[in-house]
Structure 1
Amino acid sequence: MSETLTLSAELRERAGKGASRVLRREGRTPAVIYGGNQDPVAIHIEEKALSKALGTGHFFNAIVELTVDGKTVRTLAKDVAFHPVSDRPQHADFLRVSANAEVHVNVPVVFQNEDSAPGIKQGGVLNVVRHELELVCEASKIPDEIVVDLAGLEVGDSVHISAVTLPAGTRSAITDRDFTIATIATPTVLTEEEEAPAAPEA
């Protein structure tokens, strides 16, 4: 399961662009907590702490516990807006979740046993169609990753979601088709004639 992340937050006393700019100059990132049949709460978080959490690689598929005024709120990070030039986090949205609530998350796919795939040994290329899977699972049981085994795959073979063993209590959010996650594609080797530039016509 994904490791729970923790962040300390403070209530925002003032809203608006001007107040948000002041917070950013002070090294804070404006944010909001919403959902859970409660009113939205405007908060701000230390930018360095938020950036560190973003750097874990599983910020968007882990429970984020926000401590606000001594109270801990279980949330999922739903969106972070970044500055187009500096790439600094400008604003974050967090969704309240209960421990047994079902949540939609995007979980990264990890491929293993490429060395045991005859198609790759023969020069085939792993063509990844989906680097993440959209899953539905309990908030307390979000997987870190989904492992896809490539052992035995030949050139032209495909891996579909139906062939992947998902953790207990986890299911695909896409249910209307058996979508492709990856294929072993035929290698593209150029001939000498294809590699050489065409001679100009007289």
Structure 2
Amino acid sequence: MKTFQLTAEPRTDLGKKAAQALRKENKIPVVLNGGDVITLPYDKELKPGEKVVEIGNGKGLITTDLAVTQDAVRKLVYTPDIYAIELTVNGETRMAVLKDIQFHPVKDQILHIDLLEVNDKKPVAIEVPVKLEGHAEGVKAGGKL
């Protein structure tokens, strides 16, 4: 799998107005999901941009709110290839994959990106496009694909 280098900055202002202000600066709000699962109540100090989302059964998930520039993600989004993203935040590197992208319905501008953090400890299921080339021997003999 190809890798893509992406640098992001943590964002502390959350909500609709903060996201609109980011977009005016030609930046995109990004959420990095798939962090550590923790037991609630969580009393340790979180890094800038991190928050705890409750997932039930007294458990929580650490997510990170980030911002990236439109130019930084252009080659990641507008390509048929699948990339493993080396995400650098405050000098710390994390591995992630692209989970979801939201586009403006008229302008086709990127509004929001969701990333999924990956590591060796848990599997990640992703959709991979398959491109068929040539003809199978069974099809040549009259079968159907």
> TM-score normalised to the size of structure 2?
0.75
Q: Which residue of 2 aligns with 1:77?
A: 98
Percent identity over the alignment? Answer: 34
Q: Which residue of 2 aligns with 1:23?
A: 22
Of structures 1 and 2, the one with the larger relative CO (CA 8 A, separation 6+) is 2
Q: Shift of residue 42 of structure 1?
A: 0.5
Q: Shift of residue 45 of structure 1?
A: 0.6
2:68 aligned partner, one-letter code: I
CA distance in 2, matches of 1:6, 1:151: 42
Q: Shift of residue 100 of structure 1?
A: 5.6
> Residue by residue, what CA displacement relative to the aligned partner does 1:109-138 show, whole Å, maximum 9, x if unpaired?
121223xxxxxxxxxxxxxxxxxxxxxxxx
CA distance in 1, matches of 2:78, 2:22: 22
CA distance in 2, matches of 1:50, 1:42: 16
CA distance in 2, matches of 1:155, 1:82: 45
1:14 aligned partner, one-letter code: D
The 3-state SS of whatever aligns with 1:106 is coil
CA distance in 1, matches of 2:84, 2:73: 14
Check whether the contact 1:82–1:88 (CA below 8 A) recurs between aligned residues: yes
- 1:110-189 to structure 2, matched below 5 A, reads 110-114=131-135, 150-154=136-140, 157-158=143-144, 183=145
CA distance in 1, matches of 2:89, 2:108: 26
1:153 aligned partner, one-letter code: V
Q: Shift of residue 151 of structure 1?
A: 3.7
Q: CA RMSD in A?
A: 1.8
The 3-state SS of whatever aligns with 2:12 is coil
> TM-score normalised to the size of structure 1?
0.55
**Structure exhibiting the larger radius of gyration computed from Cα positions:** 1
Check whether the contact 2:84–2:96 (CA below 8 A) recurs between aligned residues: yes
Runs of 4+ in 1 over 3 A off after TM superposition: none
CA distance in 2, matches of 1:4, 1:35: 19
CA distance in 1, matches of 2:23, 2:9: 14
Unaligned runs of 5+ in 2: 37-60
Check whether the contact 1:51–1:89 (CA below 8 A) recurs between aligned residues: no
